């Protein structure tokens, strides 16, 4: 089952090695920390649901809808921020993304109506996530490191991002306890502003894909090529399940556990365990992606997820079952992302990788929209999350079937243009 496809894409380092900020470990560290902050704040977002809705006397659908819009906007914006990153380099997308993230968090603090919450938590942070998370960071790293080290780079950056998510859960809980939810949002906005210097090392080159791109391989040609490839659509459809499952669990797990009689601390520990286990899981998935066929690994992840969710749903709920569920679910939490990114790079190359990943990622975020919104809507309608758990389990099985037949052979193209570095 070892992969038989050698990635022909050459190294994309935008500068010759020598200076400290031109070292691969610096790129990976900077990208991982940026992702950890951006995804960590999002991962801990469910901890704001109950205090905010109680203070404003909103129902859960109001908060759930705002976060659903965030996920949908993230997915809609990702192809366009991807195009900007492919054209101008990752750094010039990450900096405004961090600033917009800070603005969105500050806006959440001041939101007095559901519309204001949707504009800040939904619109602003949704766009910000498209410029600060794995779409842009993984695309940059894929261009900056040679193909032989790409699995390592994506795995380590993803693990660092997961470590950031793990650290963010107790940090956010501590900030809420000490400063209230309002002060916690302001503190997180400040963290986004302080992270701006981390974007400096991510000066990726703008490649031509070497022997796999010819003079006519424009963005329009790349999009036409992708849209005509069956595997591109199967990846997009399969990613829907990933978004649905993760967004539902991340946002609604605290409220679900409280409704079942467990304490708020149990939810904090559970989310932290998901993030901690994700550190190892993401690294392992990135590493395994360099050894085995990525499409088969993706199918296996979705089967495992469906099984873990089914066991958690049918077994009696306790602290032990919760923590085992979170550890198992966390291990296959974001491992789909470097693998999906790797499949796209393997098939289409890296010249327009961030753009193409952004288009596939829209399927993920469409699923996230429904996972978050349906969770709140169906709970308000039925006073239960049971139906949403069942939908999530079923989607895992469907996603596994979609990924198995994907043809991941690299597309063939005429000869290349020259490598054009980013300023």
Task: Look at residue 423 in the predicted model and tell me its pLDDT.
Answer: 41
Nearest-angstrom CA–CA distance, 306 and 76:
27
> Which runs of consecutive H residues, i.e. helices, occur in 195-229?
219-227
Residue 6 lies in a domain: no
**218 has a pLDDT exceeding 70:** yes
% the chain with pLDDT above 70:
89
CATH number of residue 236's parent domain: 1.20.1250.20
Q: 345 and 140 in contact (C-beta within 8 Å)?
A: no
| Domain containing residue 176 | 20-201+218-403
Domain count within the chain:
1
Q: What is the pLDDT of residue 8?
A: 45
- Residue 273 CA to residue 279 CA, distance in Å, equals 10
Q: Is residue 270 predicted with pLDDT exceeding 60? A: yes
Amino acid 148: pLDDT: 73
d(CA 380, CA 23) in angstroms, rounded, equals 51
Listed ranges 91-105, 141-155, 256-270; the one with the highest mean pLDDT: 91-105
CA distance 386 to 391: 9
Pick the closest to residue 364 from 78, 136, 46 (CA basis).
78
pLDDT at res. 401: 95
pLDDT value of position 421: 41
The pLDDT confidence band at residue 418, using thresholds 50, 70 and 90, is: very low
What's the pLDDT band for 241 if we cut at 50, 70, 90?
very high
Tell me, yes or no, whether 415 lies in a domain.
no
397 occurs within a structural domain: yes
Does residue 190 belong to any structural domain of this protein? yes
Phi, psi of 278, deg, nearest 5: -65, -30
pLDDT band at 11 (very low <50, low <70, confident <90, very high): very low
* pLDDT attached to residue 280: 85
Cβ atoms 282, 155 nearer than 8 A? yes
Torsion angles phi and psi, residue 191, rounded to 5: -60, -40
Is residue 80 situated within a structural domain? Answer: yes
pLDDT above 90 covers a percentage of the chain that reads 35
User: Cα separation of 42 and 333, whole Å?
Assistant: 14
> What's the whole-number average pLDDT of the chain?
84
Closest CA to 389 of 304, 305, 310: 310
pLDDT in tens, 107-145: 999 999 999 999 999 999 999 999 998 878 988 888 888
Contact 24, 153 (CB under 8 A): yes
pLDDT band at 187 (very low <50, low <70, confident <90, very high): very high
Q: How many CB atoms lie within 10 A of CB 230?
A: 10
Q: How does pLDDT run across 225-235, given as a tens digit for each residue? A: 889 899 999 99
Q: Is residue 90 domain-resident?
A: yes
Calculated CA dihedral for residues 143, 229, 285, 21, nearest 10 degrees: 10
Does residue 17 surpass a pLDDT of 80? Answer: no
pLDDT at 416 over 90: no
Higher-pLDDT residue of 37 and 217 is 37
Mean pLDDT, rounded, for 360-377? 86
Q: Residue 20 has what pLDDT?
A: 59
The pLDDT of residue 126 is 94
**pLDDT reported for residue 216:** 54
Q: What is the mean pLDDT of residues 300-329?
A: 94
Distance of CA 123 to the CA centre of its chain: 17
Contact between 343 and 235 (Cβ < 8 Å):
yes
Classify residue 281: in a domain, yes or no.
Answer: yes
Give the number of other Cβ atoms within 10 Å of residue 25's Cβ.
10
- Has residue 415 got a pLDDT over 60? no
| Residue 423 belongs to a domain | no
């Amino acid at each position: 089952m070892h992969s038989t496809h050698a990635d022909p894409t050459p190294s994309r380092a935008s500068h010759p090695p020598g200076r400290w900020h031109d070292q691969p470990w610096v790129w990976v560290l900077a990208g991982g920390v940026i992702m950890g902050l951006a995804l960590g704040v999002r991962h801990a977002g469910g901890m704001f649901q109950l205090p905010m809705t109680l203070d404003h006397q909103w129902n859960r659908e109001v908060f759930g809808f705002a976060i659903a819009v965030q996920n949908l906007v993230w997915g809609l914006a990702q192809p366009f921020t991807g195009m900007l990153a492919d054209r101008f380099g990752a750094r010039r997308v990450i900096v405004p993304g961090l600033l917009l993230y800070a603005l969105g968090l500050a806006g959440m603090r001041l939101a007095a109506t559901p519309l204001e919450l949707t504009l800040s938590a939904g619109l602003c942070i949704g766009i910000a996530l498209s410029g600060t998370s794995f779409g842009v960071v993984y695309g940059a790293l894929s261009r900056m490191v040679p193909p032989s080290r790409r699995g390592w780079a994506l795995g380590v950056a993803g693990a660092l991002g997961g470590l950031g998510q793990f650290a963010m859960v107790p940090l956010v809980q501590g900030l809420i306890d000490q400063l209230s939810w309002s002060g916690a949002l302001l503190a997180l906005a400040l963290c986004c502003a302080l992270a701006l210097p981390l974007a400096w090392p991510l000066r990726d080159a703008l490649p031509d894909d070497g022997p796999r791109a010819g003079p006519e391989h424009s963005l329009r040609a790349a999009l036409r090529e992708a849209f005509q490839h069956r595997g591109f659509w199967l990846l997009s459809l399969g990613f829907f399940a990933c978004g649905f499952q993760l967004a539902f669990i991340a946002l609604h797990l605290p409220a679900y556990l409280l409704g079942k009689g467990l304490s708020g601390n149990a939810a904090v520990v559970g989310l932290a365990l998901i993030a901690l286990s994700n550190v190892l899981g993401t690294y392992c998935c990135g590493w395994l992606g360099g050894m085995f066929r990525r499409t088969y690994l993706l199918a296996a992840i979705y089967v495992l997820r469906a099984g873990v969710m089914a066991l958690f749903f049918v077994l009696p709920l306790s602290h032990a079952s919760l923590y085992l569920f979170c550890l198992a679910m966390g291990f296959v939490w974001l491992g789909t992302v470097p693998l999906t990114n790797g499949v796209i790079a393997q098939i289409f190359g890296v010249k327009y990788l961030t753009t193409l990943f952004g288009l596939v990622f829209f399927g993920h975020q469409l699923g996230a929209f429904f996972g978050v919104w349906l969770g709140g809507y169906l709970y308000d309608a039925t006073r239960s999350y049971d139906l949403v758990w069942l939908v999530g389990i079923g989607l895992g099985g469907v996603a596994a079937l979609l990924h198995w037949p994907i043809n991941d052979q690299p597309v063939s193209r005429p000869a290349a243009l020259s490598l054009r570095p980013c300023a």
